[in-house]
Amino acid sequence: MKGEVKIARRPAVAIRAICIGMAFIATMRPLSARAQESPAIPAKLNVGQCVEIALKAHPNIGAYAGTVAVNESKVEEAKAPYYPQLNLSATYGDSYYGSTGNNSQRLLNQTSTSYSAGASLQQTIYDFGRTGLSVDIQKLNTGASSADLTNVTIQVVFGVKQAYYGLLQARRNRDNAAQAVRQYESHLRQARGFYESGTRPRIDVTKAQVDLSSATLNMIKAENAVKLAKATLDNAMGVTGGPQYSIDDDVGHGKVEITLEQVIVKAIENRADFKSFAFKRKSAAETVKLGSLGYYPTLSGSAGYTLSGERAPMDENWNVAVTVTMPLFSGFSTKRQVEEYRASLGSIKAGEEALRQSVELDALKAYISLKEAEERIPVAELATRQSRENLDLADARYTTGVGNSIEVADAQAAHINAVTALNQALYDFKTAEAGLEKAMGGR
């Protein structure tokens, strides 16, 4: 019956533990939910505010920040051999002895109960620098993960700027498309008036209708492009739920004052991904040293104290020892590990050199793109003014009966294309400017 009670209690204990665990998880879930909630979005945003929201809300930043915290903990873990290891133990045991012999002097069943309690202490005295190297390696790994966090932050910031200016471009193109619809509607009214008065042929009306239909289709596409650009900016900021807000129409531009040589120097000095590789290279070099220490002995000390017996007073035992552990043969595992670490170091060095070349190429591309956009903007602005003047002249000629509908349609198309080209040039300049900052390791 006693055994049955024990069996019955175990499920109850297990169920109680599960309930406690579920209650603990339930208390943690609101915290997790709150951590993923999107921050409050103002009614109107500029690019700086969008960046600040992304720095708080983007999941990639949170993921890399977690990796940094993990590596910081590993630094403290690596320091553990500097400290003594203290353990306490206690034992309770029942022993049963049975006999089937015929000797009437022997008991058929015997039981005994024993108790023991003890404490042990271990301390690494000297390990030829293994612990110190392990701590240094983890610090370097932490530095690499911190650089990776900086790098992903820069990537997120660039993505926000790119999406922000993409939304501005889409909005301007939509406004341009809406203006084109209004112009074609005005031209259709004129063509109908002239046709009804008998001064223009029917083809002017049908031509204006076709142009208006095409412009309306373009406006629908432009409206959808704005929605997609808005969703892209939401995603770049790491917010969900499609919050409603407007953005400042800030596409100011200036002259590029920095030289290509300065860009490349800053890129090599400041790029976080390049710094991450430097930390990883140093960590790999230290790991090679650590692996080589596998050939060396370890000196450690230990002490223990134990009380044991079936009844009081119990027996006392204590011990103190100094141990030297010398690896003689490990199946060539130490040698192979060192070879593995050296190969990993060589791979990291090659990757670092490849990244150096990629950094220089990124800087070159970003600089050239920015200079090109800078040169395109004044040309596009001039083309926009000229196309506007040409459209006004074509409208005036058509109104006075001198021009024809084809001239007006061509002038309207030319003006729409000129404005679109200007919007593209402004967008390219701002994204190239942000790209140049990213290429130099800034944000």
Fold of 46-99+126-299+331-439: Outer membrane efflux proteins (OEP) (1.20.1600)
CA distance 79 to 383: 68
Pairing of strands 109-126, 85-98: antiparallel
Q: Where are the alpha helices (DSSP H) in 101-249?
A: 130-196, 202-237
* pTM, two decimal places: 0.78
Q: Which residues pair with 308 in a beta bridge?
A: 116, 315
CA distance 152 to 26: 32
In angstroms, the first-to-last Cα distance of the chain is: 74
Measured over the CA atoms of residue 385, residue 391, residue 397 and residue 402, the dihedral's sign is: positive
Nearest Cα neighbor of 135 from 81, 177, 188, 78 is 78
The backbone torsions φ and ψ at residue 242, rounded to the nearest 5 degrees and listed phi first, read 60, 55
User: Which amino acid belongs to residue 87?
Assistant: N
pLDDT tens, N- to C-terminus, the chain (443 residues)? 333 333 333 444 333 444 444 444 444 444 333 344 556 788 899 999 999 999 999 999 999 999 999 999 999 999 999 999 999 999 888 777 666 555 555 545 677 788 889 999 999 999 898 999 999 999 999 999 999 999 999 999 999 999 999 999 999 999 999 999 999 998 899 889 988 888 888 998 999 899 999 999 999 999 999 999 999 999 999 998 888 999 988 777 777 788 888 998 888 888 899 899 999 999 999 999 999 988 889 999 999 989 888 777 788 899 999 989 888 888 888 889 899 999 999 999 999 999 999 988 988 998 999 999 999 999 999 999 999 999 999 988 888 888 888 888 899 999 999 999 999 999 999 999 999 999 988 87
CA distance 95 to 242: 70
Q: What are the distances in angstroms from CA 78 to CA 82, 124, 164, 220, 417?
A: 9, 13, 44, 61, 64
Q: Is 26 exposed, middle or buried (0-12, 13-18, 19+ CB in 10 A)?
A: exposed
CA distance 156 to 76: 30
At residue 256's C-alpha, the angle toward residues 254 and 259, to 5°, is 170
**Edge-first strand listing for the sheet containing 109-126:** 85-98, 109-126, 298-309, 315-325
Peptide bond just before 313 cis, omega within 30 deg: yes
Assigned token pair, 160: 């926000």
Residue 105's CB is within 10 A of a number of other CB atoms, namely 5
Domains of the chain, by residue range, sit at 46-99+126-299+331-439
Angle between helices 47-57 and 202-237 (to 10 degrees): 40
CA distance 239 to 228: 15
Residue 48's CB is within 10 A of a number of other CB atoms, namely 13
SS3 95: strand
Nearest Cα neighbor of 227 from 271, 184, 171, 272 is 171
Q: Where are the alpha helices (DSSP H) in 271-404?
A: 272-292, 333-399
CA distance 351 to 372: 31
The backbone torsions φ and ψ at residue 103, rounded to the nearest 5 degrees and listed phi first, read -70, 115
- Which distant-in-sequence residues (6+ apart) come within 8 Å of 317 by Cβ? 118, 304, 305, 306, 307, 308
Our measurement of the distance from residue 108's CA atom to the centroid of its chain's CA atoms, rounded to an integer in Å, reads 72
Assigned token pair, 233: 């900016």
